[in-house]
Amino acid sequence: MSELSVKHLLGIKYLNEKDIQLIFETADHFKEVINRSIKKVPSLRDITIANIFFENSTRTKLSFELAEKRLSADVINFSSGQSSVKKGETLIDTVNNILSMKVDMVVIRHPNPGAGIFLSKNVKAAIVNAGDGAHEHPTQALLDSYSIREELGDVRGKNVVIVGDILHSRVALSNIFALKLQGAHVKVCGPKTLLPRYIEALGVKVETNLRKALNWCDVANMLRIQSERLDISYFPTTREYIQQFGVNKALLDSLDKEIVIMHPGPINRGVEITSDVADSKQSIILNQVENGVAIRMAILYLLASKIK
């Protein structure tokens, strides 16, 4: 029987191509399940999962919770804002207290890079990284690649440009790892101040001219400026950023070919993309969200099969 090469999902960097194909094939099955009139299966009936979020989230938190419920897992939710973390409790103490209630898996979002890795070494549960600072967001990258595969038939050989704040983006790093593993060609595009200096070492190319980048690509993954992680100003004004790196409908319509527009959300409408681009027929933004549930069901199911 096929199984993942890992016991935790800490980052795409720990996966191989076979893992990704297995996750996609499993997600295909679950996507069919969640489109039935009875959307629930008993696969994780004896598994308890804690979603612990130390950072804000809409899509990831709801998508994991729905995925867990569709698989019939027992689910508990923890948000740091309403917890005893405010009274000084450490991450390990918090998680060990949750685990003593007989929890099997922990889905964690945390502002500090490596929080999931740290937990995986210090607590007895399968850990799923739901975003750790500016490090990785593996489930987002998997659902992004899955959505490209669904839209264009395959990821291999496709030209994908990631546009925006690459420096502070966990989505960018996880996408680069995932796309390269699957044989896509990847470029990054943004202000030089928001591109990591040695990014080409990851096998990607840099293009600072947005029109050129868009004319080259099959898919543009538009990222927002991670304002919550900016300590200084990385570009003169938002208006100038929009002029150079924002995609509007006139620009989209003037390209040599029809490209696919993606965005992990949340969108800052009118900054990285205008509303008419976000809501255009070329946008697959809501397909990404839909696919997120099937991808997360697949990951939880495959990881749970290793702890049973």
Binding site residues, ligand CP, CB under 6 A: 57-60, 131, 137, 140, 264-266
Distance CA 283, CA 103 (A): 38
Minimum Å gap between C-beta 29 and ligand CP is 24
Smaller CB distance to ligand CP: residue 223 or 304? Answer: 223
Minimum Å gap between C-beta 129 and ligand CP is 11
- The residue number with the shortest CB distance to ligand CP is 60
Smaller CB distance to ligand CP: residue 58 or 122? Answer: 58
Smaller CB distance to ligand CP: residue 43 or 148? Answer: 148
Smaller CB distance to ligand CP: residue 109 or 158? Answer: 109
Three-class HEC string of the chain:
CCCCCCCCECCHHHCCHHHHHHHHHHHHHHHHHHCCCCCCCCCCCCCEEEEEECCCCCHHHHHHHHHHHHCCCEEEEEEHHHCHHHHCCCHHHHHHHHHCCCCCEEEEEECCCCHHHHHHHHCCCEEEEEEECCCECHHHHHHHHHHHHHHHCCCCCCEEEEECCCCCCHHHHHHHHHHHHCCCEEEEECCHHHCCCCHHHHCCEECCCHHHHHHHCCEEEECCCCHHHCCCCCCCCHHHHHHHHCECHHHHHCCCCCCEEECCCCCCECCCECHHHHCCCCECHHHHHHHHHHHHHHHHHHHHHHHC
Smaller CB distance to ligand CP: residue 43 or 219? Answer: 219
How is residue 243 written in tokens? 């002029």
How is residue 283 written in tokens? 């946008």
Minimum Å gap between C-beta 216 and ligand CP is 25
Minimum Å gap between C-beta 155 and ligand CP is 19
How is residue 137 written in tokens? 């967001």
Minimum Å gap between C-beta 146 and ligand CP is 14
Smaller CB distance to ligand CP: residue 60 or 145? Answer: 60
Minimum Å gap between C-beta 209 and ligand CP is 27
Smaller CB distance to ligand CP: residue 11 or 131? Answer: 131
Minimum Å gap between C-beta 139 and ligand CP is 8
Distance CA 129, CA 109 (A): 6
